[in-house]
Amino acid sequence: MTSTALTTPRLGPFETVLPPIDAARAAFAISRSQVWPDALDRRLLTSIMGLCERAVFASNTVEGLGHREIERPPLAGTAVLLMLRRPLLYRWLEAVTGCAPITDVEGRVVRTWPRPGDELAWHDDLNGKGRRLGITIGLGSNAYEGGLFEMRARPGKEPLIQFRHDAAGTALVFEVSSRCEHRVHPLVAGGPRQVFTGWFLG
């Protein structure tokens, strides 16, 4: 077993393997985020990516922030939600992040292309519906340039994390609160950038 498997969650179709809380809590405290390499069970990832290949995507513009495409109907997104909707994972996340309570999760698969407007400007994901944590999981098989996720503190704008989904199955979990905000840069070439984007709610 690799050190990665010992320090980050491993999410499977029927079980969730969670690492010790203390080490994970220390890692989250540094940047209010955590990267989970190879978070998805390989067979599960293959199945979900197969759903993405057959999916239909619809244009979606977020007023004042940018544009992307959203899977409609949400077949792959629903499969990911079933995997994340587990009370054991909720309790672990509460203990690690301090973002409690967590009672549910929502989300969908989105993608962006190297074209004008496909990006998201600085925002905090707060929408009055109790979002505690954000989660993105890479589900794309095509290489791309650009598409960087950035998060910074507020009000001082100190950088917290920069991350690019260049490995399918890797997850990024990050705090959703008034004390931080994030953005997604446009793609420069390649793609699409295809990720599950969701939120743990409470």
CATH number of the CATH domain containing 39: 2.60.120.620
Specify if 76 maps to a domain: yes
Question: Contact 147/187 with Cβ under 8 angstroms?
Answer: yes
The Cα–Cα gap between 117 and 115 comes to 6
The sign one gets for the Cα dihedral 155, 159, 165, 169 is negative
What is the H or E stretch that residue 46 is in?
A: helix 42-53
Specify if 188 maps to a domain: yes
Specify if 186 maps to a domain: yes
Average pLDDT on 64-68 reads 96
pLDDT digits (tens, 9 = 90+) for 13-51: 888 999 999 989 999 999 999 999 999 999 999 999 999
The pLDDT, as a whole number, for residue 46 is 96
| Count of Cβ atoms closer than 10 Å to residue 48 Cβ | 24
Specify if 72 maps to a domain: yes
Into how many domains does the chain fold? 1
Average pLDDT on 181-194 reads 97
pLDDT digits (tens, 9 = 90+) for 68-78: 999 999 999 99
Torsion of CA 139, 29, 81, 176, to 10 degrees: -100
Specify if 61 maps to a domain: yes
- For the cut 50, the answer to whether the pLDDT of residue 4 exceeds it is no
Average pLDDT on 172-191 reads 97
Specify if 1 maps to a domain: no
| Count of Cβ atoms closer than 10 Å to residue 77 Cβ | 25
Specify if 9 maps to a domain: no
The Cα–Cα gap between 200 and 132 comes to 6
The two tokens of residue 114 are 């190297």
The Cα–Cα gap between 197 and 202 comes to 17
Domain housing 62: 19-201
Mean pLDDT across the chain, nearest whole number? 94
The pLDDT, as a whole number, for residue 88 is 96
Question: Contact 187/193 with Cβ under 8 angstroms?
Answer: yes
